[in-house]
Amino acid sequence: MDKNEYSDLLTNMGARLSAFRMKADEEMLRCNRNPSDLTLIGVSKYFPVEYAQAATELGLRDLGENRISELISKKEVLAAKGMTPNWHLIGTLQTNKVKLAIDQTALIHSVDSSRLLEEISLRSEKANISTSVLLQLNISGEDTKHGFSKDGIEEIVHFASGLPGISLCGLMTMAPIVPCEYTPRKVFEELREVFERTARFAAQPEIWKVLSMGMSNDYIDAIRSGATHIRVGTLIFGQRTP
């Protein structure tokens, strides 16, 4: 990407980011919430690294990637330029890739099994660090989605809270893309209810604060349902090219 193309990228992304922040801030205020309590994660997955760089230059402090390999690659490029945003892993993490993820992320949003929790714990303890994670819930029960069932989640929270090397910060979910009985608002409100109900099982209540839910097409419902972190791609970065 040459200088003119990058300049155009900055201009266009800056306009989108400014417009999005204004709308999100207005919605937070409408809900009697402080806009500063909402963390905006720019989902830079599948975009060239220049997009992540531009977002960071424009003041976006949190970036999300689906694949740990892509996260590490972009993180290294930006770090070489003195840029250190908070990197969030929001996609499925396979147990055999945990060794790559350790000490690379600010937060892993997509922990979807007890086996994965144990592997993160093992690798973190060996590295003498604590890894911040969220439990991914499949609220709507879709076969195509990963995540724990809301039934019995208390036991999973208790289990995760007892593992060394794990800092359990909250919950994550995704709303159905195809319309069904579970509207985004219903999914998000149920996640908040589970979050509040299971708080007493968290070993570190002072960090049990994260509700990661809402994307470009449903972030307003997420904000209204109490989201603390929203994961937004298209409205900031534009349409992805196949």
Any domain includes 77: yes
Number of domains present in the structure of the chain:
1
Distances (CA, A) of 172 to 111, 222, 227, 239: 9, 11, 10, 24
pLDDT of residue 152: 86
Mean pLDDT of the chain: 94
pLDDT at 46 over 60: yes
Any domain includes 69: yes
Q: Which two tokens stand for residue 212?
A: 């990661």
Any domain includes 242: no
Any domain includes 124: yes
Q: pLDDT-based confidence at 160, cuts 50/70/90?
A: very high
Q: pLDDT-based confidence at 181, cuts 50/70/90?
A: low
Least confident span in 7-21, 92-106, 171-185: 171-185
pLDDT mean over 151-179? 90
Q: Which domain holds residue 36?
A: 3-237
Any domain includes 120: yes
pLDDT at 145 over 80: no
Q: What is the pLDDT of residues 80-130, one digit of tens each?
A: 999 999 999 999 999 999 999 999 999 999 999 999 999 999 999 999 999
pLDDT of residue 146: 79
Any domain includes 217: yes
pLDDT of residue 180: 58
Percent of the chain with pLDDT over 90: 85
pLDDT of residue 38: 98
Farthest CA pair distance, the chain: 54
Angle at 223 between CA 217 and CA 229, to 5 degrees: 85
Tell me the CATH number at 233.
3.20.20.10
Q: pLDDT-based confidence at 17, cuts 50/70/90?
A: very high
Of 235, 238, 211, 231, the residue nearest 22 (C-alpha): 235
pLDDT at 142 over 80: no
Residues 6+ apart with CB under 8 A from 185: 221, 224, 225
Any domain includes 129: yes
Neighbours of 71 (CB within 10 A): 25
Q: pTM for this one?
A: 0.95
